[in-house]
Amino acid sequence: MSSHTAIVARRRAPVSASRFPAWFGIILVSVVLAISLALSLAVGARFVPIDEVVLSLFGTGDQNVLNIVGELRVTRTVNAVICGVALGAAGVLMQALTRNPIADPGMLGVSAGASFGVVAGMSVLGALGVDGTIWLALAGAALASAVIFWFSGTRFASGSPVRLILAGVAFSAILAGAAQAIVLTDETVLDAFRFWRVGSLTARPVEEALPLVGFIVVGAALALLLGPALNLMALGDDSAIALGVKPGVVRALVLVAVTLLCGTATAIAGPIAFVGLVIPHLLRRLVGPDLRLVLPLSLLAAPAMLLLADTLGRVIGGGGEVQVGIVTALIGGPLLIAFVVGKRTAGIS
C-alpha cells in the first residue's frame, strides 16, 4: 500500500462521531457512576440516609448501620466496581476484535469457560481458596477465549455475527452443562459453587477480592494500550499492516487481556452476562466508535450498570434479593433481541 493510501486509511480510522462531545460523555458517565455508588450503599431492604452512610464508612454512627453498610453493602459495592471494570473492558475488546456488535464474554462462553475451569479443578483437587480458584478460572477463560477467537476467524462465522453468537451460546451451554453435571455429582463442589453460579456480588468478601485486583489492572491497562491498534484493525488487516500494526500480536494480546479480565471477574462473582454487550453499545451511541474513548469510559460505565443492577435486585426481591446475574440477564436479554432484529443489525445477519 502506498504512503498516500496509508494516510487516507489512517484518516478513515474510527473517530468520535456522535451528537455529544467527548467531555459531555465523560461527565455524564462519571455522574451516573457516582449516583450508582451512593445508591448501592444506601438502598436495600433498609434505606440508609447518605449522612449515615458516610459516618459508617469512617467507622462511626449507629451499630446497625455499621453492620449493614460496612459488612454487607461495601462488599457488594467493591465487588461490583471490580467486576464491572473487567466485564466492560472485555466486552469492548471482544466486539472490536471479532468485529461483531453483539459479542459478549458471557454469551460467547468465556465466563462459562472460567466457571467450568473452577468446577473441574475443584472436583479433582477439592475445595480451594481464592488463590487456587483464580488460576482455575484463568485457565478455563483462556481455553474458551482461544476457541471463540479461532472460530470467529473461520469461514462459517467471519461473515455473520449472528452465527458467531449462536455458536458461542451453544458452546456456553455445553460448558455450563458439563459444569452442572460435575456439581450435581460432587457435594463438596456444590457447596463451594452454589453461591455464585448465577452471578453474585456476595460470593467473595472484600479481603479475598482485593488481592485479585492486580489481574484486572493488568488486563484493563492492556486493553487501553490496544485501543489505537484495534481502531486501525477496523479498517481491515491489510490497512492495519500498512499502518504498522501487527494483527497477530494484537489478537494474542487481546486474548491475554480478555482472559485476565473475565477469569478474574468470574472467580470473584461467578458468570455475569450482558454487561459486556450493553455497555459498548451505549457508549458508541454516546461518544462514537473511537476505542480511545469507548475503552476508558467502559471502565466507568460498566461498574455503574452492575451497581444499579445489584441495587435493583435488592429492591425487587422484597425481603430477599434477586442475584445480579439474573437482573443483568433480564436487562440485556431484550436488548440483545432488539439489536438482532432491529434496523441497526438488519444488515449483519
How far apart, in whole angstroms, are the C-alpha atoms of residue 147 and residue 141?
10
**pLDDT of 61 over the 80 cut:** no
Contact 306, 87 (CB under 8 A): yes
**pLDDT of 208 over the 50 cut:** yes
**pLDDT at residue number 165:** 72
Cell digits of residue 77: 459495592
Lowest mean pLDDT among 53-62, 70-79, 221-230, 335-344: 335-344
**pLDDT of 80 over the 80 cut:** yes
DSSP H or E run through 171: helix 161-185
Contact 85, 216 (CB under 8 A): yes
- Give the single-character DSSP code of 101: T
Q: Which residue has the higher pLDDT, 288 or 195?
A: 288
Of the candidates 110, 101, 90, the one whose C-alpha atom is nearest the C-alpha of residue 162 is 101
Instruction: Tell me the fold of 20-345.
Output: ABC transporter involved in vitamin B12 uptake, BtuC (1.10.3470)
At residue 127's C-alpha, the angle toward residues 122 and 133, to 5°, is 65
Lowest mean pLDDT among 42-51, 186-195, 258-267, 319-328: 186-195
* Global confidence as pTM: 0.85
What integer is the mean pLDDT of 150-171? 67
Tens digit of pLDDT for each residue in 178-207? 888 888 887 777 776 665 667 788 878 888
Q: Which residue has the higher pLDDT, 229 or 7?
A: 229
**pLDDT of 234 over the 80 cut:** yes
How far apart, in whole angstroms, are the C-alpha atoms of residue 138 and residue 140?
5
Q: Where are the domains of the chain?
A: 20-345
DSSP H or E run through 149: helix 130-152
**pLDDT of 349 over the 60 cut:** no
What integer is the mean pLDDT of 162-178? 80
Lowest mean pLDDT among 27-31, 164-168, 209-213, 330-334: 164-168
How far apart, in whole angstroms, are the C-alpha atoms of residue 107 and residue 34?
28
Percent of the chain with pLDDT over 90: 32
CB contact set of 300 (below 8 Å; sequence gap of 6+):
29, 30, 33
Grid look-up 449483519 returns: 348
335-344 contact pairs (CB < 8 A, 24+):
335/274, 335/277, 335/278, 335/281, 336/102, 336/107, 336/274, 336/277, 339/101, 339/102, 339/277, 339/281, 340/102, 340/162, 340/165
Tens digit of pLDDT for each residue in 236-267? 888 889 999 998 899 889 889 999 999 999 88
Banded model confidence at residue 92, pLDDT cuts 50, 70, 90: very high
> In the chain, what is the straight-line distance between the N-terminal and C-terminal CA atoms, in Å?
31
Whole-number average pLDDT of the chain: 83
Banded model confidence at residue 6, pLDDT cuts 50, 70, 90: very low
How far apart, in whole angstroms, are the C-alpha atoms of residue 167 and residue 169?
5
Burial class of 53 by CB neighbour count within 10 A (0 to 12, 13 to 18, 19+): buried
**pLDDT at residue number 312:** 93
Amino acid, res. 250: V
Give the relative orientation of helices 324-341 and 275-287 as an angle to the nearest 10 degrees. Answer: 60
Q: Which residue has the higher pLDDT, 82 or 61?
A: 82
**pLDDT of 347 over the 60 cut:** no
Tens digit of pLDDT for each residue in 97-137? 888 787 888 777 888 898 899 888 888 876 566 667 888 88
Torsions phi, psi of 120, nearest 5? -65, -40
Burial class of 60 by CB neighbour count within 10 A (0 to 12, 13 to 18, 19+): exposed
**pLDDT at residue number 302:** 97
How far apart, in whole angstroms, are the C-alpha atoms of residue 135 and residue 125?
13
Burial class of 69 by CB neighbour count within 10 A (0 to 12, 13 to 18, 19+): buried
**pLDDT of 7 over the 50 cut:** no
Banded model confidence at residue 317, pLDDT cuts 50, 70, 90: confident
Cell digits of residue 151: 472460530
**pLDDT of 161 over the 80 cut:** no
